[in-house]
Chain A
Amino acid sequence: GAVVSQHPSWVICKSGTSVKIECRSLDFQATTMFWYRQFPKKSLMLMATSNEGSKATYEQGVEKDKFLINHASLTLSTLTVTSAHPEDSSFYICSAIQGLNQPQHFGDGTRLSIL
């Protein structure tokens, strides 16, 4: 149980393109979803916390107009990297929880490469 699906798994696109990443909880309703970014050999860094039906809470230093998050239902959250540039190239991972203080279950991750 507790499967989280993330799509796409790999994106390569030109600078200036906007990229949408989907995160779905397949067999449970996720009260909260999280979006992380991980650069090579670095820790996962939380970008934002997303609750269904409300605005996402962004971590310090993360531009909300650059990284648009929509959490339309209890099973789907999307992250859109707008006007992506090479420095946005990274591994983006979502996670979901069924309730507070529960372990987070991670999606497969999306490897984003901006040329």
Chain B
Amino acid sequence: RKEVEQDPGPFNVPEGATVAFNCTYSNSASQSFFWYRQDCRKEPKLLMSVYSSGNEDGRFTAQLNRASQYISLLIRDSKLSDSATYLCVVMDSSYKLIFGSGTRLLVRP
């Protein structure tokens, strides 16, 4: 079983749509959680950290359920520029980042 699992997609949605990505992780000792965004042939860029209380940054909302070992990302009012691969990332107890393989989002006009 992969340490961090994501649906690879692609998710193909119209502009303005709301889209949700899910992620599960296997190591219950994981201590920090992040969503990164990666554009084609580019480096990952931190989108947001994820907290148990849930957190929001503009159109983006992240949720963490430690009991279920489940992380989500919700994007509201999607823009063309949101098209990218979204990486679910977990930091283990050794402070190493474990990356999911990413979920690809395509936002169409």
A-side interface residues toward B, CB under 8 Å?
A: 6, 32, 34, 41-46, 49, 91, 93, 95, 97, 100-101, 103-109, 111
Contacts and interface: CB of A to CB of B under 8 A. Distances in A.
Contacts of B102: 43
A51 to B, nearest CB: 11
A109 B42 contact: yes
Contacts of B95: 32, 97, 100-101
Nearest to A99: B95
Contact-residue size bin, chain B (C-beta under 8 Å from the other chain): 20 to 34
A45 B4 CA distance: 12
Nearest to B88: A43
B37 to A, nearest CB: 11
A101 B90 CA distance: 11
Given A91-B41, A97-B95, A106-B44, 12 more contacts: A43-B87, A43-B99, A43-B102, A46-B96, A46-B97, A93-B43, A93-B44, A103-B34, A106-B43, A107-B43, A108-B43, A109-B42
A105 B91 CA distance: 14
A103 B96 contact: no
Chain A binding surface, main DSSP class? strand
Contacts of B44: 44, 93, 106
Interface of B: 4, 31-32, 34, 41-46, 49, 87, 91, 95-102
Contact of B43 (A32, A42, A97, A109): A109
A23 to B, nearest CB: 11
For the complex of A and B, the 8 pairs showing the least CB-CB separation, nearest first, are A106-B43, A43-B99, A43-B101, A44-B99, A109-B43, A100-B95, A103-B46, A93-B43
A106 B44 CA distance: 7
Given A101-B31, A101-B32, A103-B49, A108 B97 contact: no
A111 B43 contact: no
